[in-house]
Structure formats: C-alpha cells, structure tokens
Amino acid sequence: MALAGFADTSSRKTVAPMRKSRVVILLLLPGIAYLGLFFLAPLVALLITSFQAPDPNSFDFGAYVYAFEWQNYVAGVAEYWPIFLRSFFYAIVATVAALVIGYPIAYFIGVYLRGRASLQAFTLILVVAPFFISFLLRTLAWKQILGDDSWLVTTLKSLSIMPADGHITGTAFSVIFGLTYNFIPFMVLPIYASLERLDLRYLEASSDLYSRPSTTFFKVTLPLSLPGVVSGTLLTFIPASGDYINASDDFLGGPSTQMVGNQIQSNFLKLLDYPMAAVLSVVLMGIIMAIVTFYVRRSGTEDLV
C-alpha cells in the first residue's frame, strides 16, 4: 500500500511536465518537419545543384551529375556581376523611394489621425487595398498607363516634356517605379505600427524645449520609429532585389533592365541550365543575408529577428 501510494505520487509528480514536453513535441513536430523537408532540404538541393556539371554520358539537354564543379561560381559571377549590381541598385533606389513616399503616409495615419480610430482603419485599408488585387494585373495596368501609345505618354510628347522618341516602359525608371509601387504597403505598415505607439508627449516636450519641428522630427520622432523603418526597409528590399516581374519584358522592363531573378528564371526554365540558376540563387541569397545582417547590426535593432 505504502509502496503503491509512493509510486502513485511520484508518477503524478512527473506526469505533468512529461505530458507537457510531449505536448510541445506534438505541437512542434509537424511544422518543424515541414520546414526541414521543404525549406532546408531545398536549400541543400540548391547547393548541390550549383556544383553540378553536364552529364558526360548523356546527350540529353538538361542532364547533370554531381561533380563539385566550384568553377560554376567563378563563371556565374564573371558573367552576371553587372546584373547583380543592377538588381541591388534598383532594389536600393526603390527601397529609399518607398521610404520617402511611405513614411509621411504612416505618419499621417499613426500620428495625425491619432484618436480617430475609424478614419485610421479606413486609411489603412486603402493602403493595403492593392494587395487585394492581382500583383501581375496591377503591374500590367502601369505598363498600359505608361506605355508608348498611352494617353499619358502621347500628351507628354505633344507638350514636348518628353522627347518624341522617348519611352517610359522598358527603362530603369519604370522598373524602379514598379518596384517602389508594389512594395510601398510593406513599408507603410511596420512604420505605422511603430508610430502608432509613439507617445505624443515626447513631441510636446521637444517643442516645449524650443526645438524646431524639423529638429523634433529628426531627434525624436524618427529615432523612436526606427524599428518600423528597419523592418519596412527589409520587407521592401528583400522582395525587390529578388523580383523579376517588374523587370521582365512583358511587364515594365526591357532587355537592358534584366535583374538576377530574370536570369534565374531563364536559366532554370528556358535554358535548363540548373547549375547556373542554382549558383545565381545561392549568390543572391548570400548577398542578401550579408546585407540584412550588417544592416540590422548597424541599426541596433537585433531583437527584431
């Protein structure tokens, strides 16, 4: 009896944490296994593919074998470095433009409309409204609005604002415009979330101490909204640098505006040069990770991740 009682209590004592740990494992297992199988394993597959060489025993197009062909990387960088530079240049300009355009919108919703909850909600819905309509159709709409035969371009030409042989679509400008346009909501939302929590008394304190509005903005408002700015710029920069819809011929780009994403797609799906597509993907991901890590460290918001 005593023994049974002892056994009972001891098992009871261990049951609660035991069951708890079993619950955690049950909760974690499906998701973690999924991420392992369909996120980590594909990255490994990509790395392996990037070292492949054409199959010497096969005349099939697109047949490759593993060969630790590290020269693939040398060839990829040598051939595509101007395109990498262009991609990151476009992405950085688009990110800065989205920040400059988006910050005042976020400020308006988070600070100016403070206390008017329904107006805030209404404006926020308008900001995210573009997400509710197809990304590709949105971009095609700009292509048609800015196209060579469009009303806008013919008017600008007849007013001699634009040269008669000028184009908007197919240029770096239209690609950067498209990237900026498509990612502005990603910029506005996190900045809004930061500004919404901003204590307005800090702004009052600053103006009570006779600082000019611009000083208040740069010394108080902007630093306090920095976490939002950091996540907004990352949410814009990362997809922008990998995007290839805006830059593709059928959308806002042309032959001279190709980005890394276009090259990855054509290598993978058209040329069936899987190793080269993999090399470009690995290099793109490596550069983005390096930039993101450096940027997050510099801005001192490591707890963001």
Partner 1 sequence: MRLSLGRWLLPLYTALALILLLIPIAYTFVFSFNDYFKTNIDWQGFTFRNWTNVCDAQGLCSAFGNSLMIGVVSTVLATAMGTALALALARYKFRGRSIISLLIFVPMATPEVVLAAGLASQFFTLNVEKGLGTVILAHTLFCLSFVVVTVKARVASLDPALEEAGRDLYAPPSQVFWRITFPLLVPGILAAALLSFALSFDDFIITYFNSGSLQTFPTFIYISASRGVPAEANVIASAVFIITLALVVTSQVVSRARAKALKRNA
Tokens of 276: 């080269």
State the burial class of residue 255 (Cβ atoms within 10 Å of its Cβ: 0-12, 13-18, 19+).
exposed
133 scored as a contact of partner 1 (CB under 8 A): yes
Separation between Cα atoms, residue 179 and residue 135, nearest integer Å: 11
Please, are residues 170 and 254 in contact by the beta-carbon 8 Å criterion? yes
Q: Which of 20, 116, 197, 219 binds partner 1 (CB under 8 A)?
A: 20
173 belongs to the binding site for partner 1 (CB under 8 A): no
State the Cα–Cα distance between residues 59 and 89, nearest whole angstrom: 39
Amino acid in position 252: L
Using CB under 8 A as the binding rule, whether residue 265 contacts partner 1 is answered as yes
Q: Which is nearer to partner 1, 6 or 58 (CB)?
A: 58
Binding of residue 96 to partner 1 (CB under 8 A): no
Task: Please state the closest distance from residue 87 (CB atom) to partner 1, in A.
Answer: 10
Residue 268 is a binding residue for partner 1 (CB under 8 A): yes
The residue from 53, 63, 73, 239 that contacts partner 1 (CB under 8 A) is: 239
Q: Is 176 in the site for partner 1 (CB under 8 A)?
A: no
Q: Does 247 bind partner 1 (CB under 8 A)?
A: no
The residue count for binding partner 1 (CB under 8 A) is 91
Q: Which one of the spans 2-10, 33-41, 78-86, 161-169 is the region binding partner 1 (CB under 8 A)?
A: 33-41
In the numeric block, which tokens belong to residue 36?
């392992």
- Using the contact rule CB under 8 A, the part of the chain among 6-14, 17-25, 69-77, 165-173 near partner 1 is 17-25
Spell out a b/e string for 31-59, using b for 16 or more CB atoms within 10 Å of the CB, else e: eeeeeeeeeeeeeeebeebbbbebeeeee
Q: What letter would DSSP give residue 42? A: H
Question: Do 172 and 93 form a contact (C-beta atoms < 8 A)?
Answer: no
Closer residue to partner 1, CB minimum distance, 4 or 26: 26
Length of the chain: 305
Q: What's the CA gap between 144 and 148, in Å, rounded?
A: 8
Of 121, 158, 202, 256, the one binding partner 1 (CB under 8 A) is 121
| First and final C-alpha spacing in the chain | 55
Confirm if 284 and 241 have CB atoms less than 8 A apart. Answer: yes
Per CB under 8 A, contacts with partner 1 among 145-164 are 145, 147, 149
80 within 8 A of 258, measured Cβ to Cβ: no
Nearer residue to partner 1 within complex by CB, 75 or 145: 145
Indicate which single residue of 101, 156, 162, 226 sits in contact with partner 1 (rule: CB under 8 A): 101
Locate 105 and state its tokens.
């919108």
Q: Which stretch binds partner 1 (CB under 8 A): 78-86, 131-139, 158-166, 167-175?
A: 131-139
Q: Does 189 bind partner 1 (CB under 8 A)?
A: no
Binding test (CB under 8 A) with partner 1, winner from 141, 215, 219, 297: 141
In the list 203, 229, 230, 247, the residue contacting partner 1 (rule: CB under 8 A) is 203
Pick the binder of partner 1 from 118, 164, 270, 303 (CB under 8 A): 118
